[in-house]
Amino acid sequence: MKGKKTILAYILIIVMTAMGVTGCMKSEQTVAIINGEKISEPVYRICLWITQRYFESVTTNIWEMDSVEGRTPEEYAKDKALNSLKLSVVAKQKADELGVKLTKADKKQIKDSAKGYMKDNESFVKVFKIRQKDFEQFLSYSAVFDEVIRRLGENYIPNEDELNKAVKEIKAQKETVTIEHILISNRNEQDELLPSDKNESARRESETVLAKALVGDESTFKDLITSYSEDEAVSDNQGSYTILRGQVDEAIENVAFEKGTVNEVYPQVIETANGYEIIRIVERNFLDDTVAEEEALNQIRTQFATNELNEISETLKIEKLPAYDNVNIMK
């Protein structure tokens, strides 16, 4: 069973695909009915609150926008939160079919996590009178969703191309290289390319600096950065960058990730749009192929299972009740 932080991360990642659902208690209002499932106001408020936090994390000024896909930002968020609940209804039904049930250990972890959420979000809890059992219900359905996804996807075997593509994407997202570089610019203050004679002078200077770097050590390279690099950020980062694939000029990326040797200066000047670069590879953090393949397989199976639930959810209808209109984002 996931810990508190892991569950929250899980919720944020799938905020558009899996939110908690609970039946309507007599003392609670029902905001909507999805395929016979009553969606209570407290759990819907939690769902909307999480959706709101997610939107704010990716678009800080979202509530100041005039419209999002033809709706006000609040209407858009409310619709997304409610539509995502359809997947939880589907997951609940699938859980019954698959015999998915939470263990005592799962329920204890959920209760402990719910206590933490109550404590960490006192303002939200107080304003909307959210109870611990509402968080428990929310987290319970998220946990069930997770297990349903695992069960549905565990027997899916991707083809070789599909797996290789996923491995490549995961490595691109997670593998990093730390480099130190010296930039000899071939552009003026207006960011215009230097005349040919000055450009040639910059190229010759870069060759001279490279020669010094190749016969020196790590401290020599740092001194050369201070003395020669025209990178505007050099005073802040001392010429050091940790990069992902796709973040820098392709020529530098090829050296950093493929051609260069760790702890050595690359023995050629690299020409880029910004000028002439001398590169030293400091460190590579690459995923083990077995680890990357396992993560890719899990990702593919999760997507396969999610797609299956999505297809079913598209057939479900949502009946909004009057109480739905009284639920708003927390400002």
Q: What is the pLDDT of residues 50-76, one digit of tens each?
A: 999 999 999 989 999 999 999 999 999
Q: What is residue 3's predicted lDDT score, i.e. its pLDDT?
A: 45
Tokens representing 256 are 């950093």
Confidence of residue 7 (pLDDT cuts 50, 70, 90): very low
Share of the chain above pLDDT 70, in %: 92
Q: What is residue 221's predicted lDDT score, i.e. its pLDDT?
A: 95
Q: What is residue 18's predicted lDDT score, i.e. its pLDDT?
A: 37
Higher pLDDT, 259 or 16: 259
Tokens representing 205 are 């200077």
* Rounded mean pLDDT, 138-158: 93
Q: Is the pLDDT of residue 303 over 90?
A: yes
> 107 near 135, Cβ under 8 Å?
no
Decide: pTM greater than 0.85. no
Q: 89 vs 19, 29, 61, 239, CA distance in Å?
A: 9, 18, 32, 52
Looking at the chain, the domain(s) classified CATH 3.10.50.40 span: 176-285
- 317 — phi, psi (to 5°)? -110, 145
If one counts every other C-beta atom within 10 angstroms of the C-beta of residue 23, the result is: 12
Residues composing the chain: 331
Q: Is the pLDDT of residue 108 over 60?
A: yes
Classify strands 275-285 and 176-185 as parallel, antiparallel or unpaired: antiparallel
Name the residue among 46, 49, 138, 15 with its Cα closest to residue 330.
49
Q: What is residue 28's predicted lDDT score, i.e. its pLDDT?
A: 67
- CA angle centred on 20, ends 105 and 55, rounded to 5°: 120
* Rounded mean pLDDT, 171-178: 96
* Rounded mean pLDDT, 153-166: 96
Q: What is residue 234's predicted lDDT score, i.e. its pLDDT?
A: 86
Q: Considering only the C-alpha atoms of the chain, give the largest distance between any 2 of them, rounded to a whole number of Å.
A: 84
Q: What is residue 117's predicted lDDT score, i.e. its pLDDT?
A: 93
CATH 3.40.309.10 assigned to domain 176-285? The reply is no
> 25 near 40, Cβ under 8 Å?
yes
CATH topology of domain 4-158+290-326: Triger factor/SurA peptide-binding fold (1.10.4030)
Residue-wise pLDDT for 236-271, tens only, equals 889 999 999 999 999 999 999 999 999 999 999 999
Q: What is residue 41's predicted lDDT score, i.e. its pLDDT?
A: 94
* Rounded mean pLDDT, 12-23: 40
Confidence of residue 289 (pLDDT cuts 50, 70, 90): very high
Q: Is the pLDDT of residue 24 over 80?
A: no
Average pLDDT, the chain: 89
Q: What is residue 195's predicted lDDT score, i.e. its pLDDT?
A: 93
Looking at the DSSP bridge assignments, the partners of residue 270 are 277
Looking at the chain, the domain(s) classified CATH 1.10.4030 span: 4-158+290-326
